[in-house]
Structure 1
Amino acid sequence: MGVRGLQGFVGSTCPHICTVVNFKELAEHHRSKYPGCTPTIVVDAMCCLRYWYTPESWICGGQWREYFSALRDFVKTFTAVGIKLIFFFDGMVEQDKRDEWVKRRLKNNREISRIFHYIKSHKEQPGRNMFFIPSGLAIFTRFALKTLGQETLCSLQEADYEVASYGLQNNCLGILGEDTDYLIYDTCPYFSISELCLESLDTIMLCREKLCKSLSLSLVDLPLLACLLGNDIIPEGMFESFRYKCLSSYTSVKENFDKKGNIILAVADHISKVLHLHQGEKKLEEILPLGPNKALFYKGVASYLLPGQKSPWFLQKPKGVITLDKQVVSMCTDPESKQEISMCTHPECKQEVPVYIDLESKQEVPKCTHPESKQEVPTCTHPQSKQEVPTCTHPESKQEVPMCTHPQSKQGVPMQTHFESKQGVPMCTHFESKQGVPMHIHFESKQGVPMYTYPESKQGVPMCTDPESKQGVPMCIDPELKQEAPVCTDPESKQGVPMCTHSEIKQKLPIGTYPEFNLEALMCTNPGIKQEDLMNVEPEIKQQVTMVSDPEILKVARARHVQAESYLVYNIMSTGEIECSNTLEDALDQALPSQAFVYRPVRQRVYALLLGDGRGDASSCPTVKEWFVYSGNPLRHPDLVRPLPMNIPGGTPSLKLLWLNQEPGIQARRLDTLLACFDLSSSREELQAVESPFKALCCLLIYLFVQVDTLCLEDLHAFIAQALCLQGKSTVQLVDLQLDYVDPRAVQLGSLLVRGLTTLVLVNSACGFPWRMSDFMPWNVFDGKLFHQKYLQSEKGYTVEDLVEQNKSRLTKFHNLKSIVCKACMKENRRIISRRHWHSHHSGKWGREGSGSHRTSSGRSRSGQGQHCRDQGPGSRQHEPDQWRRHSSSSGWSN
């Protein structure tokens, strides 16, 4: 992460920039310096996951109860000394960093392969040197921190930028993370999470000022250095030859420094001794070998500039100046005549411009270059702004008038003084009168439209063409939707009121007629959404082309995303692109499919709910880009996945109904929608009878066992027994639990279930939260080691009584949950039987007759036939199960 080679360089070559500090002392100093201001640390949570995950066991799917306890201790320690923590999580992967994301995922695949090889060889968990964080750790950490009462935010772009911006703008004590990009940003101090001693609150502060001093650079040079060395935006090979050229000419190479350290010193030396000489005289692309990568490089440098900051490397070169008779006189060459002409100082902009002889007055006047035509034209003083502006001949009066640039054509047009604002505005031709009228710039389309003057108020408002009457009608800004809307005259008040088209009845109605358009109602139904949240979302929705056109729904989705209350919903609705990182899956296991395929039908139904399914019109069927890691996927392109229609009693409800309506009975519609996403509507009554927190787990188990044919009765026993026994276990008991050995299939099953829990978060968010999130948080329903223990016991033939540890209450619940899962599976023609009886029923292959190990559509279409929008589009991979379906009864159990 961050700048390549910089972390090692700091540790080996410049250790003096690292200073031991104590957070308690820093907080006391901050309070004395800023009375009344709470010392706040911005935490880059993604950098801290490895530090926070302290449980010894990590291979079995996660020790979630232990992990939650470790997080609670972390928060308590900082709270005890009066420090507030703000946690930021990555909300999406920026397109510029997708290649780097892919590179890391493929690297992780190789690491996972080595992990499974070690498990098969040693029957135990590898050492911490091969540590791989459990699946879903980042997702569930958000909800764990929220449960602990912490302010938890999810980014709308790269998280490190939002972290650095927040720290700078809110006068924070510092940033806690592990990313050398924080040495590059000009923001508050940067502290290392890896060096943090929680007991003493001592850590290392990395000082960017000391780094600059060591490299003979200034703070504004650091973004340039970072891009020349390579980071998440700039590929490492882009400037490789340049770096070695700097190294070859660097005269202070030290033998005791490593190669990367010398390269950093050499590049910094080139910046300070070579590039600085030309700074201001030449453009950056003239002194660096940018070539076709110029735009990417400038974007990389600009990515480090926080709001309000600028880079001196982007400035244009000034004109040359010579000295004559002790007076400073600038000389320039006229590009047309090639003659040198005299110049004077422009009275307004204070810049030197050529002198122009007015043919009528015979006086010298400044001459300026029109910004679009690039031609020099005479100037005049604008009557309102008092500034010199170009002039042109008005087409009607034939007189010289001020000129401005038309916003669309970029050509000079006559300027007219607006009668209200007294400011110059461009003129355009009214589409009815054909006369010149002031122009209004529409704030969304950015196009010029004529203005309309109210006969009573004499006020000008923008005008639009009524699509029905084809006549010009005035527009106003709707106070609720903050959008421009046509105006109609109220027959009683005789005043203009905005109109809108109701989305369902398709008629124009005055704004305020329907409560759905009231933003106050949105806040009433969701008290967690604040007014500023709604206002902040408006510009982003306007600027971004989204998959969903309803601004009100997008506001809610965005607010929930930012507050870390949902998962993937806003990404789907805004960009139509999602990703899922690596999972502990054995690429050589021929019996279990990847979680990416197992839960894809659920995601497809969520897409139908959020985006529509294009039912009846295949051309309108939306496509979602999925970047999911699974065996054999090179991640060169995303999988193009289309929605799958749902079967919901009463039809698919609208998102406004599910998200904003609080009427009695809506919660039942939300639950119907959730079950339809898992295609389990037929099991509604049975699931409703299950107590929390087993309701959600039961739903997930039914789905899994219907989807994956190679799951057997012993697996079901292990899943249910561990959930029931977990309720009676303390954290200390879970820590002390020891396993006889580690089974690779159980490792993959643990990850498969946890990925199912993250899928439940997505579905519950999309459906308007019919279930409490706490019901499927893993620390309430799953423990990796405990599941592994029950799996090994079940495989050895332990009785149910032994699995539930001779507890009669658990035994009753066990049989009840097992009965519900088995009956629901039977409705889908899926009989769950023991592995010991498998061969006698299935003649040597995993899967029921005529089917494979997995299904992809509904319970009524096991092979996916008749699947809506089945064609995934050009350039995508085939998504049918035959591509990866496995049928070996021996290979699935050989380990």
Structure 2
Amino acid sequence: MGVKGLQGFVDHACPQASMWVNLKEMAKQHQHSHPESPPVLVVDAMGCLRFWYTPEAWVHGGQWREYMQSLNTFVDAFSAIDIRLVFFFDGVIEQKKRHEWIKRRLRNNTEIANIFQYIKANGCQPGRNMFYIPSGLATFTRFALKSMGLDTISSLKEADYEIANYARENGCMAILGQDTDFLIYDTVPYISVNKLQLGKLTTVMYSRESLCRILCLQQTDLPLLACLLSNDVVPEQAVEGLKHRCLARYLPSDSRARQRKEVVAAVAHYISGISRSHDGLKEVESNIQHASSESLLEVGVRSYLLPGQYSPWLPKSGTPPGADQHENATGPAQSILQFAKEKHIKAESSTVYKILNAREVDCSNTLEDELDTELPGQAIVYRPARQSIYGILLTERNGQSGAAKPCPTVKEWFVYPGNRLQQPDLVPALLPELPGGTPDLQTLWLTEGVEVQKLRYCTFLACFGLQDFAEELLPLEPPAAVALCCLLIYVTVQASQICQEDLDAYLAQALCIRDKSADHLAQIQVPCVDSRAVHLASLFVRGLSVLVSANSACGFPFKMVDLMPWEVFDGKLFHTKYLQSHNGCTMEDLLEKKDVLLQEFQKLKSLIDSICVRKNRSIQSNPQPWVTENWERSGPRDRGGSHHMAQCEQRPHTSPFLSHHQGYQGRYPQPGPANRAQTGRGSRPGRYNRRPQLYPR
């Protein structure tokens, strides 16, 4: 979020606080001043995700190979001018910022609902003005960057804080991101990713010194300014009344519209008249509204202080900045916790350290349709698997007897339909069923040998209730096929609404993607967009992130790269396979008339069907009439393959990183029948006896 209203102020009302810079020249100057080390740019990765995701298609679950291509383009541009990049990701959500996290998630729910309403009404992807990043993008981006050999760090506390501190301590050239909090920290210069023109390597640099000079403040006043404008620590409702009073005194006779533009200057003027002391801060505190027993402004101001920094607004004695970290070292041995911590910081594992240290996890919004009551949310589908992961990580043993103590609970902040996030779900950890019991973390993580590796695989399978089928699953090649089958069996068993056509589409696209380049996948045109397919795509991709968590917990039986979406998933490819499958396409056409793929498909499908039956899940055929309806509404066109142009074509994509952030308006058909958008899937008509073919047999 950053500081409310500050970005607009520095961009429009205070142009003196920003200037265009050439990064190549900036790097040369930095190298001249610091000959002992190359210029380093610290990247706020979470703030760059929208900038990096350049593929036109975003609603189908992610164009992951195209995305990898975009990341490589970004990295290569900086490598060419010898700028080293260090990427930071949010590793935790601090309790003082949980309220803001919840507010954003509820707001995102509305945005996602609007996306699905548009899809149902129009049968195509909305314009970039409704863009929502594909589910799991942040999780997989850190592994993508890691696979490129880049310095990638997951934070142990608020990422903004660690970024500002790392940049300052290491004498870095600048921070690249899009968060006005970096204007508040007393650290290195802050440059904008939204303004970045990668081809020219130019962007806007913001100056906190100029901002202070214009506002008649000292740099030590900026944290208080940020708090009174509202930020992630101080909610807007707490300071709303004070801001109105500041405006009334600053511009008593001016219009309300003019006042809104001057709110930053008005609050700064108010601060300049207050004694710069702890007593002054308490005076300001008396003018805001909040129910906390502690000083909200003191917490907010302190959150901006890096180690060794002090503020005249705070008492001279007290807990120094950064001293509030703690680790829950009970249960897992300290060596185990340290191992998990190191893997977390290096972005080599997922969720494990948070579970061990805080017993609290969270998951942001997923692109899924809350009105489609036939398909459950991913948070519910994967909860049993998560419980097994919690059991592996948190189960304690009673001395030499080896008997497990009662399992603890984990606080889950997961977004799913009907959850207003008023409190976390308390989810009990459950031990997976394994012959001989669940191995301890010392064995799984810190012991080597052939038998231990087999134990890791079996424990991984147990997370998904598949421990009894190890002899059938583990011999599959390549290893990614084992993970793929685990995911498809688990989803099919957990979600009874998954039908044969869905499973065929999942499996076919995972096989067909193997030999397709990013450029080839980018050329695929989806004839029409089906909201159910969008939901299923997100369900699959979120499942991959659960595989990653299980792999981390079980001591890495798989290489992480085998679990990445760019290895087994492409959104547009899945969508075309889904449309083909539900419209009665032959298996030969579904597998693109490639005999090798068809044989592998039949082998894996037979295995999946067999295991599902033995787990009391018989997969039925249930072609969706919605698919045919969407196709019929889209009008006549060439139906000879998956590479023809859709009616909902968007304008040609411009040069990456230069203008896609401006948004664009594609050409879309007029909305279809109103009842389509209103009814969702609750009043679906009966299945057709004869369905027109979307693709020729």
TM bucket normalised to smaller: 0.7 to 0.9
Matches within 5 A, 1:530-545: 543-545=326-328
- Residue matched to 1:609: 392
Task: Give the drift of 1:688.
Answer: 1.6
**Superposed displacement of residue 258, structure 1:** 4.2
2:427 to 627, 631, 641: 641
Shift of 1:740: 0.7
Distance in 1 (CA, whole Å) between partners of 2:15 and 2:179 is 16
1:741 aligns with 2:524: no
Structure 2 equivalent of residue 420 of structure 1: none
1:702 aligns with 2:489: yes
Alignment-mate amino acid for residue 611 of structure 2: A
Give the secondary structure class of the aligned counterpart of 1:814.
Answer: helix
TM-superposed deviation, 1:590: 1.7
- After the TM superposition, which residues 649-798 of structure 1 pair with which residues of structure 2 at under 5 Å, given as runs? 649-692=435-478, 693-798=480-585
Q: Does 2:595 match 1:595?
A: no
The SS at the match of 2:473 is: helix
Q: What is the identity, as a one-letter code, of the residue corresponding to 2:240?
A: E
The separation in 1 between residues aligned to 2:60 and 2:150, in whole angstroms, is 28
The one-letter code sitting in structure 2 at the alignment partner of 1:703 is Y
Letter aligned with residue 303 of structure 1: S
- Give the AA of the match of 2:506: F
1:182 partnered with 2:182: yes
The 1-side partners of 2:685 and 2:405 are apart by 43
After superposition, the C-alpha distances for 1:434-470 in whole angstroms (9 at most, x for unaligned) are xxxxxxxxxxxxxxxxxxxxxxxxxxxxxxxxxxxxx
CA distance in 1, matches of 2:204, 2:540: 38
The one-letter code of the counterpart of 1:185 is: Y
Instruction: Check the 8 A contact 2:372/2:682 in 1, yes or no.
Output: no
Q: Is the 8 A contact 1:825 1:831 kept in 2?
A: yes
Tell me how far apart the structure 2 counterparts of residues 659 and 635 of structure 1 sit (CA, whole Å). 34
Q: Is the 8 A contact 1:547 1:575 kept in 2?
A: no
In 2, distance between residues paired with 1:893 and 1:546? 57
Alpha-carbon offset, residue 887 of structure 1: 12
**Separation in 1 of the partners of 2:134 and 2:619?**
28
**1:821-836 pair list within 5 angstroms:** 821-835=608-622
1: CA distance, partners of 2:6 / 2:251: 21
Deviation for aligned residue 1:295: 1.9
The residue number in structure 1 matching 2:659 is none
202-211 vs 642-651, which moves further: 642-651
Call closer, same or farther: CA 1:695–1:310 in 2, change over 3 Å. same
1:279 to partner: Cα distance: 3.1
Q: What pairs up with 1:66-215 in 2 under 5 angstroms?
A: 66-215=66-215
Shift of 1:244: 1.3
1: CA distance between counterparts of 2:329 and 2:415?
25
Indicate the SS of the match to 2:67. helix
In structure 1, what is the equivalent of residue 364 of structure 2?
A: 581
Describe how 1:236-275 pairs up with structure 2 within 5 A: 236-251=236-251, 258-272=258-272, 274-275=273-274
Q: Contact between 2:278 and 2:315, CA under 8 Å: does it hold in 1?
A: no
User: Residues of 1 paired with 2:149 and 2:384: CA distance?
Assistant: 34
1:402-481 alignment, distance < 5 Å: none
1:21 match: secondary structure:
strand
- Give the structure 1 partner of residue 283 of structure 2: 286
Give 2:672's aligned residue. Answer: none
Provide, for residues 24-75 of structure 1, a one-character-per-residue CA deviation record: whole Å limited to 9, x for no partner. Answer: 1111111111112110000000000000000000000000000011101111
Distance in 1, matches of 2:142 and 2:538, equals 19
After superposition, the C-alpha distances for 1:690-736 in whole angstroms (9 at most, x for unaligned) are 21222211110011111111111111111111111101211111111
Write out per-residue CA displacement over residues 615-654 of structure 1, whole angstroms, 9 at most, x where no aligned residue. 9999943110000000100100000000122111221101
Q: Is the Cα–Cα contact under 8 Å of residues 65 and 779 in structure 1 kept in the other structure?
A: yes
- Could you tell which deviates more after superposition, 239-248 or 595-604? 239-248
Larger Cα-atom Rg? 1
Query: Which TM-score applies when normalising by structure 2?
Result: 0.86
* Residue 549 of structure 1: how far off its partner (Å): 4.5
The Cα of 1:747 is off from its aligned counterpart by 0.2
Given the alignment of the two structures, is residue 624 of structure 1 paired with residue 621 of structure 2, yes or no?
A: no
- Equivalent of 1:804 in 591, 596, 613: 591
> Secondary structure of the equivalent of 1:313?
coil
Is 1:54 the counterpart of 2:54? The answer is: yes
Structure 1 residue 260: deviation in Å?
A: 3.1
Contact kept? 1:720, 1:814, Cα under 8 Å: yes
TM-score, length-normalised on structure 1?
Answer: 0.67
Q: Can you list the C-alpha shifts for 1:845-889, whole angstroms capped at 9, x where unaligned?
A: xxxxxxxxxxxxxxxxxxxxxxxxxxxxxxxxxxxxxxxxx9989
Q: For residue 641 of structure 1, what is the amino acid of its counterpart?
A: V
Q: Which amino acid aligns with 2:281?
A: L
CA RMSD of aligned residues (A): 2.5
Q: Distance in 1 between matches of 2:403 and 2:446?
A: 28
Judged with a 3 Å threshold, the aligned counterparts in structure 2 of structure 1 residues 282 and 597 are, in CA distance, closer, same or farther, namely closer
Identify the residue that residue 24 of structure 1 maps to in structure 2.
24
State whether residues 613 and 645 of structure 1, in contact with CA within 8 Å, keep that contact through their aligned partners in structure 2: no
Q: 1:295 to 1:755 in 2, by over 3 A?
A: same
- Aligned equivalent of 1:14: 14
CA distance in 2, matches of 1:633, 1:127: 28
Q: Work out the CA distance in 2 between the residues paired with 1:30 and 1:662.
A: 46
Which deviations, in whole Å up to 9, do the C-alpha atoms of 1:219-275 show, x marking residues without a partner?
111001111111000010112211111111115876697433312111101111x11
Q: Distance in 2 between matches of 1:780 and 1:258?
A: 53
* SS of match in other structure, 1:579: strand
CA contact (8 A) 1:9 1:260 kept: no
CA contact (8 A) 2:97 2:232 kept: yes
Match of 1:4 in 2: 4
Structure 1 residue 290, shift from structure 2 partner = 5.3
Distance in 2 between residues matched to 1:776 and 1:206, nearest whole Å: 39
- Cα shift at 1:893: 8.3
Q: Take 2:450 and 2:81, find their aligned partners in 1: how far apart are those partners?
A: 46
Matched with 2:639 is none
> Which ranges in structure 1 are unaligned for 5 or more consecutive residues?
318-536, 839-885
CA contact (8 A) 1:546 1:574 kept: yes
Query: In the comparison of the two structures, how many residue pairs are matched?
Result: 623
Q: CA 1:563–1:540 in 2, change beyond 3 Å: closer, same or farther?
A: farther
Query: Equivalent residue of 1:43, what SS?
Result: strand
In 2 relative to 1, CA 45–287 (structure 1 residues): closer, same or farther, beyond 3 Å?
A: closer
> CA 1:585 to 1:316, structure 2 compared with 1: closer, same or farther past 3 Å?
closer
Aligned amino acid, residue 216 of structure 1? C
The 2-side partners of 1:892 and 1:596 are apart by: 30
Q: Distance in 1 between matches of 2:509 and 2:415?
A: 28
Indicate the structure with greater helix content.
2
Deviations along 1:462-521, one digit per CA (max 9) or x if unpaired, are xxxxxxxxxxxxxxxxxxxxxxxxxxxxxxxxxxxxxxxxxxxxxxxxxxxxxxxxxxxx
Deviation (angstroms), 1:547: 5.8
Matched position secondary structure for 1:570: helix
State the Cα distance separating 1:613 from its structure 2 match: 7.6
Shift in Å at residue 314 of structure 1? 2.0
My pick for the range that moved more, 301-310 or 610-619, is 610-619
**Deviation string, structure 1 residues 307-336 (Cα, Å, up to 9, x no partner):** 11110112579xxxxxxxxxxxxxxxxxxx
- Aligned-pair CA distance for 1:664: 2.9
Q: Structure 1 CA distance, aligned partners of 2:468 and 2:403?
A: 28
Please give the alpha-carbon distance, in whole angstroms, between the structure 1 residues aligned to 2:507 and 2:390: 30
**CA, structure 1 residues 138+287, in 2 after alignment: closer, same or farther (shift >3 Å)?**
closer
- 8 Å contact from structure 1 (residues 5, 260) kept in 2: no
Deviation at residue 284 of structure 1 after TM alignment: 2.2
Amino acid at match of 2:350: Y
Any idea what the Cα deviations from partners look like across 1:649-698, whole Å, max 9, x if unmatched?
A: 22110100000001331000001100011010122122122212222111
Asked if the contact 2:90–2:155 (Cα under 8 Å) also holds between the matched residues in 1, the reply is: yes
Q: Percent identity?
A: 52
Amino acid at match of 1:674: F
- In structure 1, what is the equivalent of residue 665 of structure 2? none
